[in-house]
């Protein structure tokens, strides 16, 4: 989990060395992961995207797998590959978190560059292999947004757009106010988009519109149930990657 400590009496060279070590430790390993601070400092991307996956009490193991399989299937689609390629920089950075109540959030897939069909397919495989890492808990959308923002700000890239993609089938019932957190995050120029799964709350998309989504060009996509998640997340990701102006 991300933590921050206040530094004192640390020389600039030591700070740069520490930053490099933190980035290397945070982003992990693998051919698509950002592994060096030198590469990260020079890398510009069209989009830095945090996929925030709900693993609260209302989400059973099968529903979790439907979410991850839906995300994986989206990154296997040619239209997604084309949308990434057609951006000004031709690349995006993506990470994934799991969240439930106010004390349970975790980064489960570190920052990964997707800049080709091959890297998109590799990321899809990573998504599909991802295991549930948190115990079930309440639904703290406010805390999930706060954690996703920390992850987003830690991205070792320069991004034209910064987006939190939050999926859930429930309303905030733990922790900080989701509306206040939304307003704080949106004021920083960060976009929060929502995918509302309507199996528990038939009007959850309206709740998302009032309380959760915000920032530049925000939007919500409804999914009638988990079986429809794959199509909904594909449409949502396509719109997020393409950026403002897609219908």
Give the pLDDT confidence of 78-131 residue by residue, as tens digits.
999 999 999 999 999 999 999 999 999 999 999 999 999 999 999 999 999 999
Q: What local confidence, expressed as pLDDT, does residue 41 receive?
A: 54
Query: What architecture (CATH level 2) is domain 36-242?
Result: 3-Layer(aba) Sandwich (3.40)
Q: What local confidence, expressed as pLDDT, does residue 186 receive?
A: 98
Closest CA to 36 of 21, 47, 50, 46: 21
Q: What local confidence, expressed as pLDDT, does residue 136 receive?
A: 78
State which of 12-16, 21-25, 31-35 shows the largest mean pLDDT. 31-35
Report the run of H or E that residue 205 belongs to, with start and end. helix 204-211
Region class of 107: left (phi > 0), else alpha (psi between -120 and 50), else beta: beta
pTM confidence score: 0.83
């Amino acid at each position: 989990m991300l933590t921050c400590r206040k530094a004192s009496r640390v020389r600039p060279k030591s700070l740069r060395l520490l930053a490099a070590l933190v980035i290397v430790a945070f982003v992990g390993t693998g051919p698509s992961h950002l592994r060096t601070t030198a590469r990260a400092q020079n890398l510009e991307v069209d989009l830095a995207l945090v996929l925030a996956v709900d693993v609260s009490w209302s989400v059973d193991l099968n529903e979790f797998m439907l979410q991850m399989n839906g995300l994986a299937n989206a990154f296997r689609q040619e239209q997604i590959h084309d949308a990434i390629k057609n951006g000004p920089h031709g690349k995006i950075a993506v990470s994934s978190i799991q969240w439930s109540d106010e004390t349970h959030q975790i980064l489960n897939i570190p920052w990964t560059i997707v800049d080709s069909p091959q890297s998109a397919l590799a990321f899809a495989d990573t998504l599909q292999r991802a295991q549930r890492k948190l115990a079930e808990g309440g639904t703290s959308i406010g805390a999930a947004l706060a954690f996703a923002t920390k992850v987003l700000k830690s991205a070792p890239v320069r991004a034209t757009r910064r987006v939190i993609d939050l999926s859930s089938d429930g309303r905030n019932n733990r922790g900080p106010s989701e509306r206040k957190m939304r307003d704080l995050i949106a004021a920083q120029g960060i976009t929060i988009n929502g995918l509302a799964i309507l199996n528990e709350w038939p009007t959850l998309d309206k709740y998302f519109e009032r309380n959760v989504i915000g920032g530049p060009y925000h939007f919500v996509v409804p999914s009638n149930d988990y079986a429809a998640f794959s199509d909904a997340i594909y449409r949502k990701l396509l719109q997020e990657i393409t950026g403002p102006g897609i219908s």
